[in-house]
Amino acid sequence: MPVVRRLIGVYDADGSLRGEVAYLVGRALGRRHCSLCDITHGRVREKEAWRACRPGLPVPFETLHLDERSAQVRAASDGAAPCVLAQIDSELSVLVGTSALEACGGDPQRLVETLEAEVAAQGLSWA
């Protein structure tokens, strides 16, 4: 059975100051939206509920902005952000896509449940 070693959440936004401001303005104008941002962050900072959920995951979960991705993460997530990638051995693949993140409705606990369900549905196990 393939084993998930870590998770990488990819935001649909750049992490630079300019990127963050552009995202916030676009969001306020209804032109930008990132469902992973809605799950992990409030208006300005990381949600307390997300900080409480993340350590309970069986593998490390890191987040990256579009401009922070390595070549390997970029190859796995191009055109798929926002998404959550799973590292299985040395390979990365999309575990949870945009529509599933959207279905979480900004709720960190629903993301955890979705991750667990996808691992089971794809015949994977946790490290």
Q: What domain range includes position 23?
A: 3-126
pLDDT confidence tier of residue 18, bands split at 50, 70 and 90:
confident
For residue 70, give the CATH number of its domain: 3.40.30
Highest mean pLDDT pick, 20-29, 43-52, 105-114: 105-114
Which amino acid is it at 98? Answer: T
Q: How confident is the model at residue 67 (pLDDT cuts 50, 70, 90)?
A: very high
The model's pTM: 0.89
- The total domain count for the chain is 1
What pLDDT, in 10s, does the model give residues 26-62? 676 667 778 999 999 887 789 999 999 999 999 999 9
